[in-house]
Amino acid sequence: MAVRRTPLASGVVTGEPTLVIIRGNSGSGKTTTAREVRRRYGRGCALLEQDYLRRTMLREHDSSSTGVVAPEFIAATARAALAVGYHVVLEGILHSSRYGEVLRRLMDEHAGPSRVFYLDVSFDETVRRHQGRAEPIGVTAAEMREWYVPRDLLDVPGERVLGEGVGFEEAVDGILHGSGLAGSAALTPCPARCARCARAKD
């Protein structure tokens, strides 16, 4: 049974938050879904996006031919957020060939709940969704084809597959409730101990 996490004056907390990993091919809708999951949860939940951490922070190519830093860097970032009480939503393509071992180790080492969701979407549908994005990314269908790996599961207990027939609202709701986030209180000093957050509730 999980111990209730209690914020301390130092900002360090006891107990264990929830780790949620949302994976899928480019254009599967994982980023939009993850952002909405975090938005609906509110403060106390960290959103870690693979593309931002790898492309923007590290400016690193996602390649199997070089010793890339991103997998361990992303896992370390997730560990740091979990350690101070943030629930974590980690999203990205996160190919199992390069990220599988690191993600499984992250889950094994985390004492709290860990839930994995995979958006299983066909290649043609990923292209259609990509072309309809509100924030277009400058990649071609040919590039997406190179990245596409069908049903690239982590093969961990409880991994949940969401097919392309699952709508956006259903996916967001399923992740919030399937992960337990919907019923999990914020554990971090903000909003648990934040005067501004307390005033906002009045």
Which of these, 33, 35, 57, lies nearest to 164 by C-alpha position?
A: 33
Residue 180 lies in a domain: yes
Nearest in space to 51 (alpha carbons), one of 66, 70, 33: 70
Residue 1 in any domain: the answer is: no
pLDDT of residue 129: 86
The span from the CA of 117 to the CA of 152, in Å, is 11
Q: Is residue 11 part of a domain?
A: no
In a domain, 13, yes or no: no
Q: Which alpha helices (DSSP H) does 59-161 contain, by range?
A: 70-83, 96-109, 123-131, 141-147
Residue 72 counted as domain residue: yes
In the chain, how many domains are there? 1
Query: Range of 184's domain?
Result: 19-201
Instruction: Report whether 54 contacts 65 (CB < 8 A).
Output: no
pLDDT by 10-residue block (mean), the chain, 202 residues? 39 71 96 97 96 94 78 97 96 96 98 97 92 75 90 97 97 97 90 82 66
Residue 4: inside a domain: no
Q: Is residue 145 part of a domain?
A: yes
pLDDT of residue 15: 63
Does 62 fall in a domain? yes
Q: What's the N-to-C CA distance of the chain in angstroms?
A: 33
Residue 61: predicted pLDDT: 87
pLDDT of 198 reads 81
CATH number of the domain to which 142 belongs: 3.40.50.300
